[in-house]
Amino acid sequence: ARKHGISFEELSVIPGSGQGGRVTKQDFLDYVEGRGAGGQPAIPAPQAAPKPAHTSSLPAPRESRAPSTDMPGAGWREDGTRVVPMDNMRQLIAEHMVRSKATSPHVYSVQEVDCSAISAWRGKYKNEFKNREGFSLSFTPFFLEAAVRGLLQFPTINSSVEGKTVVLKRHINLGCAVALGNSGLIVPVIKQAEERNFVGIARALNDLATRARDKKLLPDEVMGGTFTVTNPGVFGTMIGTPIINQPQVAILCLGQIKKRPVVIDDMIGIREICYLTLSYDHRIVDGALGGQYLAFIREYLENWDMDRPLY
C-alpha cells in the first residue's frame, strides 16, 4: 500500500472478496490497476447480491480538509456555483453508501427511551469512575451494553447476507462511530463485546476513540464489525436514519438525551428522554423483529438496577 501511495483509510474501504469480507491480495491489485488506469478509485457497479465487504464503517481520508476557497480551478462560476472535485476517499464513501441502499431495502423503527434511571446511576458513580479510570463516564457505554445484550437475544440482527443464505455470527463485534472533526468519520470495532462487562466496554470505547482521533488505530481494529452503533445525539440530533454498513444487516442510532414533559400515571412529569432508531435490512429483519429488539433495549435501560455496583 505504501508503494502505491494508498493510505490506511483508503485501504480499509476497498471491497473485499475474502472470508468475512477480507481484502485479498488480488482485491488490492485489482483496485490499484483500476485506480492507476484513470487516476480514480476502481468503484464497482452496485450489484443485487454483492460479495461480502469488510465490516468496518466508513473511515475518512487521513489528510482530508474542508474545501478551500482558493483551490485551483475551484473559483466561482457565472451562475454563482463552484465545482470542487471529490478526492478518492470521498468517491469510495459515496459508492459505499449508494451500494448499501441498492443492496438492502432499508426499514426504520424508532423507540422512545426514558434515560432517567441510567442518568441517576451515572450521577452516582461518575466521580468514582473518573478518579479510577482517568476519563469521564459518558452515556454511550450504557447503550452499547444494552445493544449487545439485545443481540444475544435476537441473533438474526447480528448476521450478514451471502447470496441466498443468512450467516449468523458467533461473536458480537461492535462498531462504534467516532467523529474526526473535518476529517469525517471512522468506526473502530470492539471485538467480542459480549465477553466484556460494563466497565470493560467503557474502557474499550475510550481507548479506540482516543486512538482513532490520534490516527493510531491498527487495520484490524476497523475490520470485522458485525453490528454498528452511531451517536449523532452528541451533536444535538434528535432522530437519525443511518445507512446500513454492508455486509451488516442493521445499525443503531442514538439521539440526544433531553429533559421532556411526559405522562406518568396520568400526571405530567419531567424525564430524560432519547429516541433510538434502528435501520435494518428488510430482506431478513422484519418490523416485528426490529421492534422487539428496540423494545428490549428500552426495557433494559429503563429498568437499570440502581443498586448495581460499578465494579
User: Contact 276/237 with Cβ under 8 angstroms?
Assistant: no
DSSP letter assigned to residue 282 = T
Q: pLDDT-derived band of residue 6, with 50, 70 and 90 as boundaries?
A: confident
The residues annotated as belonging to the active site are 282, 286
* Grid coordinates given for 37: 488506469
pLDDT band with cut points at 50, 70 and 90 for residue 186: confident
Q: Say if residue 36's pLDDT is above 70.
A: no
Question: Grid cell 491489485 — which residue?
Answer: 29
DSSP H helical ranges for 104-181: 116-133, 140-153
pLDDT at 192 over 90: yes
**35 has pLDDT over 70:** no
The CA distances from residue 33 to 1, 264, 304, in Å, are: 13, 63, 54
Residue with the bigger pLDDT between 42 and 261: it is 261
CA-to-CA dists, residue 255 to 23, 126, 143, 197, 231, angstroms:
33, 21, 11, 24, 7
Note the pLDDT of residue 54: 42
Q: How far is CA 260 from CA 87, 164, 165, 237, in A?
A: 43, 45, 44, 15
As given in the structure block, the three cell numbers for residue 262 are 411526559
Taking 80 as the threshold, does the pLDDT of residue 149 lie above it? yes
pLDDT value at 46 more than 50:
no
Domains of the chain: 105-302 (3.30.559.10)
